[in-house]
Amino acid sequence: GFLHYVVTDCEFNSSKLNDIEYTESYYYNKLEIIRFSSSVGKFVGYTEVGIKNAERLNNGPEVIARRAQKESYCLSNVGIDVESALTKS
């Protein structure tokens, strides 16, 4: 069989927006084929298919939507995680 999955990640050092990096990685059969990183600001392909898709995604509305994820997805969740960690430590 074939396996396709997406890993979404928010890495942070504090709850400040500048200290957060949002990544979204697409895998096929355990091989990362394409990734969006908020620090780069665009999709980057790692395979022949990934490079073609990165070019297509970077020229469409998908790249704009992913850029907004850092603030809309990460910022609110990081605040919850930081508060939870501080109250339990």
pLDDT of residue 63: 95
| CA distance linking residue 70 with residue 12, whole number of Å | 11
Question: Under a CB-based contact definition with an 8 Å cutoff, are residues 34 and 50 in contact?
Answer: yes
Q: How does strand 31-37 pair with strand 20-28?
A: antiparallel
pTM assigned to the model? 0.83
pLDDT of residue 18: 85
Share of the chain above pLDDT 70, in %: 97
* Domain 4-88 class in CATH: alpha beta
- Average per-residue pLDDT for the chain: 90
- CA nearest 78: which of 69, 6, 41, 26? 69
Residue located via tokens 């022949």: 48
Q: Domain spans of the chain? A: 4-88
